[in-house]
Every structure is written in structure tokens, then in C-alpha cells.
Amino acid sequence: MKLATLFWCYKEPAICADRVRLLREHDPESPIYVLFGGDPAQTGEFRAQFGDLVDDFYVFDDPRPAGAGDADTTFRSGTHWKYLYGDLLIAAWFRDRGRALEWDTVVVVQWDMLVYGRLDDVFACLGEGEALFSGLRPIAEVEDDWNWVARSNAHERANYEAFLAHARERYGFGGEPRGYVAVVTCLPRVFLERFAEVDRPELGFLEYKLPIYAEAFGVPICEEHPFRPWWGAVEPFSKAHTLRARPDEISATTILSNLRRSDGARVFHPYWRRAPRGLVGWTRAILGSLRPSARITR
């Protein structure tokens, strides 16, 4: 099985280049394909930062599809809607570029994610043709509190119900709906072949849309893996969490303590600084983490 990185980025070009260098340092052979979803005017700056570190560079500059981001006026301008509808960017990448590239499964690596190790080692749990969705769980367990499906959020609830009805009627989904925390996502080619051609792609939100479509398409899902993100809607927060969909940076102390253990985490999110190198780098990072970090807007 040939694993490849799909490096999804849209801001902080120097940090993104540092992320790619870290990937290359640990895994010089696996392909790195860039999915750039930021301001197209910054394309040249990102290309210059990456140089020959990446194997391909794709720019998503399509207009927002009808229905994407209509719920909130904050998503009607700029590029933030591309973050919320990242699945549409991935589908466009596959149709326009990814289909012709060499890979069996892509590991979606976000710009503010650290990955320490070869993909084959870090994702040794992943079987051929399997998808992986971190924190996958039945939606019924979080239905009252998860913003994307909660009845208290009328717009998102209607979006969820419309998507679920479409998945059942058009694609024969008959299982129990599950959702995930979209930090670690691995997508096999067989999934993207189907997903890139779905009807009404703007329906739903990626954190339940992707696993529900995977089950509808008969794509096996890797259930036994070490990627356990914090489920903010239903779990108390802990600084020990190494995977968070929350603007609260993982501390260098937490990262280093994991890397020093053979059974520690090797994937961390979010981290908004250059990745520490060497004893001096880690010492500086740990001292820096003792100071309050700025909250980053996604």
C-alpha cells in the first residue's frame, strides 16, 4: 500500500514549509501533495516556500458552491468557508489532480499538525483500502451537545437531516450514523473515486458526511488505531490531549514527553510554531510554552 501525504494548507506559508521539512526529515520517500485552499493571490509565496520539498502543488480557486456557508454571514467572504467545507476541496483535488498521481491512500495533514515518523510506521494500523476517522462514534451519543447535529441549532440540524435523508435514499445508507473529530483523516482511492462524484456535495458537514459516505460505499473503516482526539462536546478538556479541534496549542512539554516514550503519540494538533529540533530547540520551545499562547483563528 502506497501512502501519501495530502498537505492541506491555507495560511502561514513559513510554518507550512517547516511542516513539510519535518515530514521529509522523517519520511523522505513518501509523496507529499499540496492542497492549497488559501487566497489564490498567495500562491506564489507558498510555491516559493515549498520549493522542491513537495511532489505536487494544487490550488483550489473554485467559487463557493451554492449552499456552502449560507448559515452565517462570517463565512460569506474570504476563504474561511474553505476550511468548513474541506471535503469539497479534497474532492476537487482528486478530480483535477489526485486521480492521476501515484498513491493508494492519502493521509490528510493539516498545516498546524506535527507528524513524527514514517507514514508506514505512524499509520501501521491502517489496512489496504481502509479509511480512518479519528474519534469516530455514534452520533446518538453526542446528539444533544454536538453543534453540527444538535436540535438547538436549527440550521445545522436541518442540514444534517437533509443530508442523512439524501444518503439513505440516493446511496442506500442504512447504518447507524457516526461522526468524528476531523483531526486525523485517511482516505483510500476507492473512497475518493465515489465521493468525488456524489450528488449535492454541499449537503452536510464533513465530520459526519465522510464516515457516513464511507459506510454507504462499502469502504472498510479502520477502528483500531491510536488516534484519540478530544471530543469537546462531551468530554472534559485535558492538557494531556494530543489531538484537539480547538484553538488551544499543544505544549512542547506534552509533545516531548510523548516522543520520549516508545508508546507515545507521534501526531499532534494544533501546534502553530516551527517544529523544535535538537535539545536547544526543545528547551526554547518548552520555555516558550510556559507563556500564554495566542489563540489562532482557523
Out of 2.60.40, 1.10.20, 2.60.60, 3.90.550, the CATH code matching 3-239 is 3.90.550
Q: What tens digit of pLDDT does each residue of 135-188 get?
A: 999 999 999 999 999 999 999 999 999 999 999 999 999 999 999 999 999 999
- The residue extents of the domains of the chain are 3-239, 240-298
Q: What tens digit of pLDDT does each residue of 240-296 get?
A: 999 998 888 998 999 999 999 999 999 999 999 999 988 788 888 888 766 655 444
Residue 286: what pLDDT? 84
Position 180, amino acid: Y
Distances in Å between the Cα of 126 and the Cα atoms of 142, 185, 199, 219 are 26, 11, 28, 13
Residue 233: what pLDDT? 78
Q: What tens digit of pLDDT does each residue of 4-16 get?
A: 999 999 999 999 9
Q: How many CB atoms lie within 10 A of CB 150?
A: 16
Give the separation between CA 121 and CA 248, rounded to whole angstroms: 27
Q: What tens digit of pLDDT does each residue of 47-63 get?
A: 999 999 999 999 998 77
For residues 117 and 266, is the Cβ–Cβ distance under 8 A? yes
Nearest of 15, 53, 32, 9 to residue 103 by alpha carbon: 32
Give the separation between CA 53 and CA 267, rounded to whole angstroms: 20
Q: What is the rounded average pLDDT for all residues in the chain?
A: 91
C-alpha cell at 3: 501512502
C-alpha cell at 214: 464511507
For residues 19 and 7, is the Cβ–Cβ distance under 8 A? yes
Alpha helices, DSSP H, located in 27-85: 43-50, 80-84
Confidence of residue 89 (pLDDT cuts 50, 70, 90): very high
Confidence of residue 209 (pLDDT cuts 50, 70, 90): very high
pTM of the predicted protein model: 0.92
